[in-house]
Amino acid sequence: EAQVTQNPRYLITVTGKKLTVTCSQNMNHEYMSWYRQDPGLGLRQIYYSMNVEVTDKGDVPEGYKVSRKEKRNFPLILESPSPNQTSLYFCASSLAIGLGDTQYFGPGTRLTVL
C-alpha cells in the first residue's frame, strides 16, 4: 500500500531534550516536506527536500533541522525543543512539486513540549 508513515504518533517531552520524528514514504517520491498545524493558522511549511541531499527552508524553519540521506526518509529533528514547538506535525511527499503533483500526507505526530 502506498503510504507516508510517521513515528511516533504522539510524543510528550520536556524543554531542551533532543528528539527526532521520522517520516518514510514508499512511493519513490522525490519531493518531501514537513508542516506544522496550529489552530487558526492552518499548515505552515517547515522544511522541504527536492531530492536526496537537497533540502531548503520553508516559512517557519527556526528551531528545526532535517536531513535527506535516502530518498524514502526525511526525519525532522528538534535539537532543543521549546514549548512554542508544541504542535501537530505532518510529513508529506509528492512525485515532484513543480508540476502541481498531489502531496500525500502522513497521519500526523502530535508533539507536546513541557
Partner 1 sequence: AQSVTQLDSQVPVFEEAPVELRCNYSSSVSVYLFWYVQYPNQGLQLLLKYLSGSTLVKGINGFEAEFNKSQTSFHLRKPSVHISDTAEYFCAVSEGSNKFYFGSGTKLNVKP
Give 69 or 99: the residue with its C-beta nearer to partner 1.
99
Q: Which three cell numbers stand for residue 44?
A: 505552515
For 111, counting Cβ atoms within 10 Å of its Cβ (0-12 exposed, 13-18 middle, 19+ buried), the class is buried
- Least gap, CB of 114 to partner 1 (angstroms): 22
Is 103 a binder of partner 1 (CB under 8 A)? yes
Binding mask 16-35 for partner 1 (x = CB under 8 A): ---------------x-x-x
Q: Which three cell numbers stand for residue 97?
A: 512539486
Binding mask 81-100 for partner 1 (x = CB under 8 A): ---------x-x----xxxx
Among 52, 61, 95, 105, binds partner 1 (CB under 8 A): 105
Q: How many other CB atoms are there within 10 angstroms of residue 23's CB atom?
A: 24
Asked if residues 47 and 56 have their Cβ atoms less than 8 Å apart, the reply is yes
Cα 37 to Cα 106: distance, rounded to the nearest angstrom: 13
Cα 19 to Cα 64: distance, rounded to the nearest angstrom: 10
Binding mask 59-78 for partner 1 (x = CB under 8 A): x-------------------
User: Which stretches of the chain bind partner 1, using CB under 8 A?
Assistant: 4, 31, 33, 35, 40-45, 48, 50, 56, 58-59, 90, 92, 97-100, 102-103, 105-108
